[in-house]
Structure 1
């Protein structure tokens, strides 16, 4: 069996011992393990993060296979977080993966101890749930990063990172800001988002009439960028 030290050798050569120890001890929660969140978690585990909580209420469907890490013809019908956990433990059997098959929403938010995490990642689709997570996460000490809309994109070079209030050209960000204003809610601190200002029309047909078309190379870059922001922040805290 491969040991963890050998698996992470190339990472340690780049980042150094001190950063690697911080990565190993960091506690990260990822909400939503779909097209964006699944790749974020993959990036975190392969970078040496050992303590990860993954949250999602859905099961793997055939339409997920084109872009979600744990979605294969063998996992269709399985609980997403369980399929994801099984995959992650194949990468690092010593990782502590907490898989929560549930939804972060108004009825369940108090069950999640957000204050226990060093990093919180939002990869939620539902606008109401996303607003709630943003509000709650910003009230904690955790570093918080959020994914804006990754669907209806094609050009990977247009994916960017900026502070939430500075996101332009993203309908999801615009809707969120409008809903926050209407509700009289202001997140208690600034936070950075991954987004793209590109917006294409859906083409062809879909088995899910309300679904937006999306591609792996875009959702994957969104997810890996979120993971990269975590690793970058941990490294910065060393210096």
Structure 2
């Protein structure tokens, strides 16, 4: 197959490229570095010519619902329009488990993306996955102030990005399937514990404090909405320390 990967240089995108190549697929990476921009639509038609499936793991870093919705709606519409024009037969997207009741902040953008995919003209598949192992390191980088790290209260089942990548390549190979079985990690964890373990592994000192965020958003995180349901498929790779790609 000829598979295009939107967000090919990101945390999971790099693994998708590697897994797909290992399985003998031809991979077309979509990124600004290779001349494609999902926000403006630049270069998409040319890159998607003769592509069998697109795996979309493009992303934006923001806590603003407005910015997240704008990015994911625009990127998804541009990809789907280009796919329709050149005849791509399958659009596979990655979303997040448990966000139905957390239509706020970044998750509002992911829900908007899901709606665009389902309403589009290109046959589709959607995989929801739990937070990646790398999420702990991202929180350290974003939420540390000197030696203090403040971490939102989140109950989660972190999953290896490599396992998510393999599941997305499986999905592309299977053809359009609608909403496929969610993928989560093998164990229940608290984000604060993962951050502390990652800091110790890196030799970082200082206090790590767990805080509960306000409103329905914070309540959903604290009560474990992001763990996914009991019907989710469990990955096998456990979080051990800071994960590197």
Question: Which TM class, normalised by the smaller chain length?
Answer: 0.3 to 0.5
Q: Higher strand proportion, which one?
A: 2
Q: TM-score, normalised by structure 1?
A: 0.46
Higher relative contact order (CA 8 A, sep 6+): 1
